[in-house]
Amino acid sequence: MSDGTGRHSEDGLARRSEDGLARAGPAHRDDPRLVEEAWTRVAERYAAYWSPRFRPYLLDAVGALRPPPEGPLAVPGCGPGEEVLLLAEQFPERPIIATDPSTGMLRILWSALRDRGIGQVVASSGGAESLSAFVRQAAGVLSSFSLQLLPNPLAALADWSRALRPGGRIAALFWPRKPEDSAVGRLHEAIEKGTGERRPSWEDTALEALPRIGLRLVSDTTVAHEMVHASPEEYFDEIVRSGPLQALEMRAGRDTVERCRAAWLAAETSSARPWKHAPPARLWELERLEGFEPDHH
Ligand SMILES: C[S@@+](CC[C@H](N)C(=O)[O-])C[C@H]1O[C@@H](n2cnc3c(N)ncnc32)[C@H](O)[C@@H]1O
């Protein structure tokens, strides 16, 4: 099954006859309904398994956001909102607008906001590429671990530029497409091998396009923190059970995921238990140029 872009989704969601999505026809990987349903399915488990492991990275990202003194802050792709809570602690006087397409993720954040009595945050359902529909004249945008998932990261950056005031800042933390020789790099290769799908790299193109979308790169760093998993098998299985490969399993089926798993485990150099690694993430600080007139559509 092809979606017309050369991507193949094998039997797609059609096999899941119990599934509401399936009744609407097979999905391709960027189908917003698939994205919403997959992330909602994994939300609780993501918050339990991945959020504590990602926390040191989120602290780096929050530390890298240096907004001008006036204006709200925004967090697209907020997931369960760990970084939103950190931001609210760091900037207690600022309104914060958080968005995510997954209702399951938002429910976790709404409940945390209620429990902690935090009133400065409004969290709403929305895609990263339409942040400017929720906020304008923002002082800062914080994005963590969602940019690399988007079908068009440059379009999202252009929209965040539109949402910012001149001099406003973005801190964007993401998993790079081609990390050096590492478990995550081998994972990307195994997925490409197991699915036949390629995700083009986007980072260099986005950096070159920054002036056209009114942004300037302030810094580009790599951050890495040790993460511990019971075994390499657990790591892979959690990416499916509670992470980004849930969407792949839903649309392409268990056999495809098993092929990716086998290819990755075969290439994995360590089978130590516990299994540890320090995956490199990329952190960009960007600034909205003064005097840039964004288009307002
Ligand atoms: C890996 S989680 C990151 C969550 C959180 N920011 C964190 O760092 O823990 C990815 C999030 O991106 C969201 N997401 C997926 N596609 C998206 C899109 N097109 N626009 C915005 N968010 C999206 C998912 O719903 C999910 O909550």
Residue 136 counted as domain residue: yes
What's the gap in Å between 252 CA and the centre of ligand 1? 20
From the list 173, 150, 155, the residue with the least C-alpha distance to 54 is 173
Q: Quick check: CB of 123 below 6 Å from ligand 1?
A: no
Q: Could you tell me the CA-to-CA distances from 74 to 129, 186, 294 in Å, in that order? A: 13, 33, 18
What's the gap in Å between 79 CA and the centre of ligand 1? 5
In angstroms and rounded to an integer, the radius of gyration of the C-alpha atoms of the chain is 19
What's the gap in Å between 292 CA and the centre of ligand 1? 28
Residue 81 counted as domain residue: yes
Pocket test for ligand 1, best of 73, 100, 159, 223 (most atoms within 8 A of CB): 100
Residue 112 counted as domain residue: yes
Residue 35 counted as domain residue: yes
Predicted confidence at residue 26, as pLDDT, reads 54
**pTM of the model as a whole:** 0.91
Predicted confidence at residue 126, as pLDDT, reads 97
Residue 58 counted as domain residue: yes
Predicted confidence at residue 28, as pLDDT, reads 80
What's the gap in Å between 82 CA and the centre of ligand 1? 12
Q: Quick check: CB of 98 below 6 Å from ligand 1?
A: no
Whether the upstream peptide bond of residue 274 has omega within 30° of 0, thus cis, is: yes
> Which residues, in sequence order, are CB contacts of 258 under 8 Å at separation 6+?
none
Predicted confidence at residue 27, as pLDDT, reads 67
Which domain covers residue 61, as residue numbers?
31-177+200-225+279-288
How many domains does the structure of the chain reveal? 1
Predicted confidence at residue 5, as pLDDT, reads 30
Q: Where are the beta strands (DSSP E) in the chain?
A: 73-76, 96-100, 121-125, 138-144, 164-174, 215-224, 227-229, 275-277, 280-288
Predicted confidence at residue 30, as pLDDT, reads 84
Q: What gap in Å lies between CA 39 and CA 14, rounded to an integer?
A: 19
Q: Quick check: CB of 144 below 6 Å from ligand 1?
A: yes
**pLDDT tens, 133-191?**
999 999 999 999 999 999 999 999 999 999 999 999 999 999 998 766 788 888 999 99
What's the gap in Å between 104 CA and the centre of ligand 1? 11
Chunked mean pLDDT (size 10), the chain, 297 residues: 31 37 60 96 98 98 98 98 98 98 98 98 97 98 97 97 98 88 87 89 96 98 97 97 97 96 91 93 97 72
Residue 143: CATH number of its domain: 3.40.50.150
Pocket test for ligand 1, best of 30, 36, 149, 170 (most atoms within 8 A of CB): 149
Q: Quick check: CB of 153 below 6 Å from ligand 1?
A: no
